């Protein structure tokens, strides 16, 4: 069945939705995005995603396409029209189209393009993959230097994911100067001696909305958290590892570059954090 999607003020069947071939998102990857998950038909951690979107827009000197209240209304309308109980809302804002191709940013008369669509994902919370855990490979991080801005420049993460698939694995962790930056589309953590270790926030990684919540819940549950760089070699010797993202919540990692962590099954920390995260998010969903 065709989805209803949103493009620049209109709700349309997906086959009728269009964006200009001159759109700067298409020509220059001059666009930012957010992915917000839906549980029980409600939006998870919505405020964090909107705040980060406004930050991304500001960092790129891009105009906001509407107000935060209007954006919430569009999210809710799409979730309702598409009958999403568990799934995702994808949002993209580009710098719009000035009807030609020019490296120079267009003036204020060019309005941003706003696109949103839903992805139905039944079983998002009760995901069998989380019980098995993910196998990952490590690859060089050759992305640009402003990974804190959530741009749609996702070619390299997509290639890294393909390298993982080719190696019979689920995902890749990105390595810079021997240290893990993050996953292709998630933040990365290891657990050693009960302590959760993750890279501190900087321009090198995306400031994950799930990361922020999970670290808060970990601290509230008296778990020890250390924000510092860690190497891929250290990760291979960890007791456990996991990733966090809006689309997969807390996902245990059971193997890195062919090396099994612990007994090769999810440990105790990641599954517990996953459970707490999902419970708390259900409570605060809007
Ligand atoms: N990705 N790091 C990167 C590079 C990401 O692309 C993402 C999210 C995260 C986790 O951020 P958050 O917890 O706010 O989802 C970290 C989304 C889910 C995606 O591209 O589909």
pLDDT in tens, 3-19: 999 999 999 999 999 99
Looking at residue 252, its pLDDT comes to 98
Residues 149, 115 share a domain: no
Looking at residue 172, its pLDDT comes to 98
Atom 9 of ligand 1, nearest CA residue:
186
Host domain of residue 194: 128-284
Tokens of 178: 């021997």
Residue 237 confidence class, pLDDT cut points 50, 70, 90: very high
Residue 159 confidence class, pLDDT cut points 50, 70, 90: very high
Q: How large is the average pLDDT for residues 23-42?
A: 98
Distance, CA 198 to ligand 1 centroid (Å)? Answer: 15
**Number of independent structural domains in the chain:** 2
Residue 283 vs residues 210, 242, 273, 276: alpha-carbon distances, Å: 15, 23, 15, 11
Residues 269, 166 share a domain: yes
Residue 22 confidence class, pLDDT cut points 50, 70, 90: very high
| Ligand 1 proximity of 186 Cβ (cutoff 6 Å) | yes
What CATH code is carried by the domain that includes residue 106?
Answer: 3.30.470.10
pTM over 0.85: yes
Q: How large is the average pLDDT for residues 105-114?
A: 97
Burial of 181 (0-12, 13-18, 19+ CB in 10 A): buried
* Tens digits of residue pLDDT in 51-61: 999 999 999 99
Looking at residue 104, its pLDDT comes to 97
Mutation test residue for ligand 1: of 141, 185, 248, the one with most atoms within 8 Å of CB = 185
């Amino acid at each position: 069945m065709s989805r209803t999607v949103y493009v620049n003020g209109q709700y349309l069947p997906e086959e009728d939705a269009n964006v200009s071939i001159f759109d700067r998102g298409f020509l220059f990857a001059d666009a930012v995005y957010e992915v917000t998950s839906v549980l029980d038909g409600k939006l998870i951690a919505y405020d964090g995603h909107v705040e980060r979107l406004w930050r991304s827009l500001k960092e790129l000197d891009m105009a906001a396409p509407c107000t935060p209240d209007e954006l919430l209304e569009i999210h809710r309308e799409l979730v309702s029209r598409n009958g999403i109980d568990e799934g995702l809302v994808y949002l993209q804002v580009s710098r719009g189209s000035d009807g030609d191709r020019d490296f120079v940013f267009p003036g204020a008369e060019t309005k941003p393009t706003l696109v949103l669509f839903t992805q139905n994902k039944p079983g998002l919370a009760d995901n069998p993959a989380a019980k098995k855990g993910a196998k990952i490979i490590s690859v060089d991080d050759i992305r640009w230097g402003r990974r804190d801005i959530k741009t749609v420049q996702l070619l390299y993460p997509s290639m890294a994911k393909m390298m993982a698939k080719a190696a019979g694995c689920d995902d890749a962790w990105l390595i810079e100067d021997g240290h893990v930056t993050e996953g292709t589309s998630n933040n990365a953590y290891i657990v050693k001696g009960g302590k959760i270790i993750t890279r501190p926030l900087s321009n090198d990684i995306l400031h994950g909305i799930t990361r922020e919540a999970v670290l808060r819940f970990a601290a509230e549950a008296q778990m020890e958290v250390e924000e510092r760089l860690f190497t891929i070699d250290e990760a291979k010797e960890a007791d456990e590892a996991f990733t966090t993202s809006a689309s997969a919540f807390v996902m245990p990692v059971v193997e890195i570059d062919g090396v099994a962590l612990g007994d090769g099954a999810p440990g105790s920390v990641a599954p517990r954090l996953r459970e707490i995260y999902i419970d708390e998010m259900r409570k605060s969903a809007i």
